Amino acid sequence: MTVPDSRFAEALTEIAPLLRCQSCFRGPLSVAPDGLACSSCAYEFPLVDGILDMSGAGPRLDDVGDKPYEGRWASFYDWLMSRPSRQRLDAGLLGLDVSRYYAEMPARLGALGDGPTLEVPCGNVPFLDHAEAYRRNGPWIFVDLSWALLRRLTARLAERGLRRHLAVRADVRSLPVLDGRMRNVVSMFGLHCFHDKATVFAEFRRCLRPEGSVVASTLTTDGHAISRFYHRLSQSDGTFAPDNSAADVCSAARGHGFRIGDELRLGSAYVFGAGVAHDAG
């Protein structure tokens, strides 16, 4: 047993009270020699390469086909999404105005309320260097299943000296967050990969405070012919989910107590905000 790396001590200490145990679903958690531990059932969640691994406990979820990016595809995705100039390589394919997108998203992130923020999936957090919100707001919990992308994210956080941020490996269908603890949920270009959107939005709703908000962007099947063909190819191997129209996304969100607003369509990309509906309970 060793003392957790001092680089992550601040994040672990601040974020532990926000998390629930994935074994007994109680909380809060507390800092342990190798990561975090549940005060109720003593289950321990290890810190592996700076990533809190919470994927080994919890319910067995039906395999609905979500495919985390690993290997060469993860490396390519990280390279492509690291800079706006690179994302322009597939702008024509997506019908995406990259300049507008990279102006829009930092502004929306900047408008988020102060408080704990969950980003899922996190990918490589493409706006980390473009949005001041990552420095002034927090703490930030980044959730993904991809070891490759989480490792790259952890390295980027360390390079930038960001210590109120923690990468967590967990399934979006069973988020390791206590009910009503998040001020914000962020989801950038990831909803189209989730096959069970109803459960995803149910988890977002569970984790959010009553005044909480969602900032999201996703690819849809609503773009031009070339982008629709690309989408079908990605659906054929399970990388993208089948229900990816903007209407599908909104239906899943509204079905779990969200009101949709501030919508923007940029080719096949759909950008939106969401808040808890007043009559959602």
Q: Span 6-24, mean pLDDT?
A: 93
Between the CA of residue 121 and those of 27, 71, 118, 151, what are the distances in Å?
23, 17, 9, 14
Check residue 113 and report its DSSP letter.
P
- The CATH number of 48-276 is 3.40.50.150
Q: What is the pLDDT of residues 103-139, one digit of tens each?
A: 999 999 999 999 999 999 988 788 898 899 999 888 9
Write down the pLDDT at residue 93. 77
Write down the pLDDT at residue 3. 46
What are the residue boundaries of the structural domains of the chain, listed by start? 48-276
Distance CA 251, CA 125 (A): 26
Average pLDDT, the chain: 88
Q: Span 172-184, mean pLDDT?
A: 96
Q: What is the pLDDT of residues 27-42, one digit of tens each?
A: 889 999 999 999 999 9
Which amino acid is located at 152 in the chain? R
Write down the pLDDT at residue 223. 85
Distance CA 208, CA 231 (A): 31
